[in-house]
Amino acid sequence: MSAGPVTTGGADAWVLSTDTDRTPDVGLVRPGMIAGGVLTLVAMLVGSSRLQALEAAAAVPLARAIGLEDARQVGRSVLFTVDGQPTGIDVTVGCTAAFLLLPFVVITTVLLAVRRIPVLRAMSALVAAVLVVLAVNQARMLAITAGMATWGPEVGYARTHVLVGTAVSTLGVVLAGTAYLVVLLHGTYPSPAVDPQEGDRW
């Protein structure tokens, strides 16, 4: 969105134009981004198992950091030993960050298609949301792992998986949404400025 000075009733004011995209498209940049968004959606739905395995791999060093030194990844699972008992957590389809990220990918793709937001800003907002969701989902898995290490596999999992896990996931969505909007709307709606010394003159 751009702004320019106009004179109305003798007073200088700033009005906003309706074009929010200050950077012109270069060739097939925007269509390419839209196609990339659609392909990303398909990949997240079809290939979610790959993301589950990556999330499990990222959770291993965190589990070791809280004292579970034998923690290791097996597929989409993180296995470790608590009080001599082999146990672990499984990154299921419902626990992966993919489905928390789907709304942000859909919204970004739509915004790119309707050409209301600059490409760089839209992609920066998406990156911010992705980073927050991935970090919070790792924190959720760490909380469950820590609960199992503290209270034992069965009791610890029961105490943390539903209550703590749901609370952390909800917080993550709120934080990701906030980060997304902050980046997306930054500079989109500049405040009108009127010279206080001019006043209204007819």
- The per-residue pLDDT for 150 is 94
Look at residue 7 and tell me if it is in a domain: no
Mean pLDDT of 164-191: 84
Task: State the amino acid at position 99 in one-letter form.
Answer: F
- The per-residue pLDDT for 96 is 84
- pLDDT of residue 115 exceeding 60, the answer is yes
CA–CA gap between residue 75 and residue 56 (Å, rounded)? 8
What residue numbers bound the domain in which 32 lies? 28-185
Look at residue 202 and tell me if it is in a domain: no
Look at residue 81 and tell me if it is in a domain: yes
- The per-residue pLDDT for 19 is 41
- pLDDT of residue 33 exceeding 80, the answer is no
- In the chain, the number of structural domains is 1
* Cα–Cα distances in angstroms (integers) from residue 73 to residues 60, 77, 127, in the given order: 7, 6, 26
Percentage of the chain with pLDDT > 90? 41
Look at residue 196 and tell me if it is in a domain: no
Look at residue 161 and tell me if it is in a domain: yes
What does pTM read for this prediction? 0.72
- pLDDT of residue 44 exceeding 50, the answer is yes
Look at residue 99 and tell me if it is in a domain: yes
Look at residue 19 and tell me if it is in a domain: no
- pLDDT of residue 145 exceeding 70, the answer is yes
Higher pLDDT, 157 or 113: 157
